Amino acid sequence: MSKIFVDACLGKETPYTPVWMMRQAGRYLPEYMAVRAEAGNFLNLCHDPKKACEVTLQPVDIVGVDAAILFSDILVIPDEMGMDLEFIKGFGPKFNDPIKSQDDLDRLRGGKDASDRLTYVYDTIKLIRKELDQRDDNKALIGFCGAPWTLATYMIEGQGTKTYNISKKMMYSNPELLHNILAKVTEVVKYYMEKQIESGIDVVQIFDSWASAIEPSKYNEFSWKYMVEIADYLKSKYPDTPIIMFPKGVPAFLDQVYGNFDVFGVDWSTPMALAKEKLGDRYVLQGNMEPCRLYSKEATTECVEALAEIMKDGRHIFNLGHGILPDVPVENAKHFVSECHRVSKR
């Protein structure tokens, strides 16, 4: 059965415009909190295929989204390259051994040595695939990875950052080392995503959450070209698997984000009409409601109706313009999904 979400990614006609939400499996769902408590912590949950499968399917069953997204994290890649990942409550991810030199980089695993270690992710995908195939609810499975730049910022800074000053110091004073890091991460991610596809995902999304930290004239060199390299590699092997590119915060870059992919994820700071004008002829557009509108049903309906109007003669997938926040009422997330379906019924 061809899936509505996959068809929409490929620009085909669908009975309505499908919808999913970034970070849809997460803390706003009491059912997620219960499974996470059983697992003990977030990383244990990522490492447990049965539980990861369970939380992947929760938003499909509870909120009614048209696609599940694999439950994992972008940072499992540097973790399996050999960096020591911790998630600290109330603080976020932390690596205690950030990369400072070529020697530090050389000590990390690369290519298949790293990607072959992510067996728990591949096992999770196989379980989800089996579950979805036993249903007849037409839901797709999205696999994902972080863009090399976004991953590199964590590997260099050791944690989240407001200024990116350590990564950018490297960008301007030792670009060769930064490129070596990006190239090594790119190799791992290529094999990782290939294995995700072979394990059963329907669609790939590449998250460049920290795209906006780079000045426009340097964006291609330090981020976009590596994302395109990953997309080209996957398209050469799996031409039928749709690829979604999501560089966050890039209204100024829309003239330089071309490549061999299917869907462009529009973040909430970019007007959808502008994205449509610049990219709508080439790509399906995904997005882009401001996630905080989910606090109000009225604000949600207003935005969904406006997006439907802008995209009425375009190719579109509904989503938020970034991740859902932990204190959003579940009822409001359900309202978002049903409003997207209501306004787009054909």
Binding residues for ligand CP3, rule: CB under 6 A, are 22-27, 36, 42, 69, 71, 73-75, 87, 92-93, 144, 146, 160, 207, 209, 323
User: Taking a C-beta distance cutoff of 8 angstroms, is the pair 139, 221 a contact?
Assistant: no
- Under DSSP, the state recorded for 266 is P
23 carries an active-site annotation? yes
Helix or strand holding residue 93 (H, E): strand 92-95
Is residue 146 within a helix (H) or strand (E), and if so which, with residue range? strand 140-146
**Structural tokens at position 221:** 């060199």
* Beta carbon nearer to ligand CP3, 153 or 241: 153
CB of 127 to ligand CP3, least distance (A): 15
Angle between helices 297-310 and 272-279 (to 10 degrees): 20
Cβ-based nearer residue to ligand CP3, 10 or 33? 33
- Quote the CA–CA distance of 318 and 234 in Å, as a whole number: 24
* Residue closer to ligand CP3 (CB basis): 93 or 110: 93
**67 or 307, CB closer to ligand CP3?**
67
Structure tokens at 256: 């330089």
Give CA–CA dist 56/35, Å, rounded. 11
Structure tokens at 299: 């604000």
Q: Is the torsion defined by CA of 155, 73, 19, 139 positive or negative?
A: positive
User: Which distant-in-sequence residues (6+ apart) come within 8 Å of 187 by Cβ?
Assistant: 110, 111
Our CA angle for 260, 171, 176, nearest 5°, is 80
Smallest CA-to-CA distance from 166 within 109, 257, 101, 108 is with: 101
Residue pair 321/289 in contact by the 8 Å Cβ criterion: yes
Pairing of strands 92-95, 85-88: antiparallel
- Minimum distance between the CB of residue 83 and ligand CP3, rounded to whole angstroms? 14
Active site residue: 36, 164, 191, 192, which one? 36
Which of 23, 109, 117, 129 is flagged as catalytic? 23
Which of 27, 109, 117, 129 is an active site residue? 27
Report residue 172 as tokens: 């301007």
Nearer to ligand CP3 (CB atom), residue 245 or residue 343? 245
The residue among 143 and 280 lying less far from ligand CP3, judged by its C-beta, is: 143
As given in the structure block, the two tokens for residue 180 are: 């070596």
Shortest distance, position 34 Cβ to ligand CP3, whole Å:
12
Q: How far is the CB of 325 from ligand CP3 (least distance, A)?
A: 8
Known catalytic residue: 154? yes
Q: How far is the CB of 58 from ligand CP3 (least distance, A)?
A: 9
Name the minimum Å distance from CB 126 to ligand CP3.
Answer: 17
The answer to whether 73 is a known catalytic residue is yes
Q: Given the residues 73, 104, 123, 232, select the one marked as catalytic.
A: 73
Catalytic residue among 32, 154, 164, 191: 154
Q: Which residue lies nearest ligand CP3, judged by its C-beta?
A: 209
Q: Kind and range of the H or E element at 148?
A: helix 148-157
Whole-number Å distance between alpha carbons of 230 and 74: 15
Q: Which is closer to ligand CP3, CB of 44 or CB of 301?
A: 44
| Least CB distance to ligand CP3 at residue 162 (A) | 12
d(CA 176, CA 196): 30
Query: Is residue 104 annotated as a catalytic residue, yes or no?
Result: no
Q: How many CB atoms lie within 10 A of CB 100?
A: 13
Report the catalytic residues. Answer: 23, 27, 36, 73, 154
